[in-house]
Amino acid sequence: MDDIVKQALAKWPNVPHCDGWLLLDARGHWRMRDERAQHLKLPGDKLQHAALRSFIARNYAADARGCWYFQNGPQRVYVQLQATPYIVRTDPVQGWLLHTGIPMGPLDQVLLTEEGALLLRSADVLAQLDDRDVASVLAELQSGGSPVTDETLMEWLEGRSSASLTLQGRPVQRVMAATLPARFGYVTEPVPETATGSAAPAETAATAAAPATPPAAA
């Protein structure tokens, strides 16, 4: 957590939390959800400020209930999760790279849902693979030392095959997507414990972190 955030928490310890305004999408983008996006249940606009994205990533954590949030100075901004608390992608230099910019540690578990979503677990980090990397990673699956064919993979996903799949030497576990939050202890649509409404994010340290002139959209 940034020092500026710790100082703000000490100075203003009772700022109301907010929810509904920030979302982490399945490709690892932070999205700001204004009142219109919330009303229409839209994902919101991608945050383009590089400094602000980095600030959010550095101050991203979970509470005891498994609700993830961004500590915005003295205010806790709860994050809606389109998939899992972390999103991972492949990087030619760093290997598995989290959406926060931190390399993922050695894999403890590899899971594959019935929908074809690939999830990686390392220590206390659960991350869904960016869908743009799924095809190339699934091509690395093996069974009995040989590459897995498309037909075998489809049968495995549908529960019609008992083949043992591995990825980079790790066994692949079949898991139902709907069971993931309960199994790994996270909440996709958190609500503050003392919520009295959906407050807008306060203009505190996050505002100071943003560049004066927004960079061009990617």
Kindly list the averaged pLDDT for each block of 10 residues, start to end, along the chain of length 218: 57 67 97 93 94 95 95 89 98 95 95 96 95 96 94 92 93 96 96 60 47 33
Residues 130, 88: contact at Cβ < 8 Å?
yes
Q: What is the pLDDT of residue 217?
A: 35
What structural domains does the chain harbor?
3-82+188-209 (3.10.540), 86-184 (no CATH)
Residues 17, 200: contact at Cβ < 8 Å?
no
Q: What is the pLDDT of residue 173?
A: 96
- Of the candidates 138, 90, 86, 150, which has an alpha carbon nearest to the alpha carbon of residue 113? 138
What distance in Å separates the CA atoms of residue 116 and residue 179, rounded to the nearest whole number? 15
Go through the chain and tell me how many residues it has. 218
Structure tokens at 201: 């994010």
Q: What is the pLDDT of residue 5?
A: 54
Q: What is the pLDDT of residue 192?
A: 75
Q: What is the pLDDT of residue 199?
A: 59
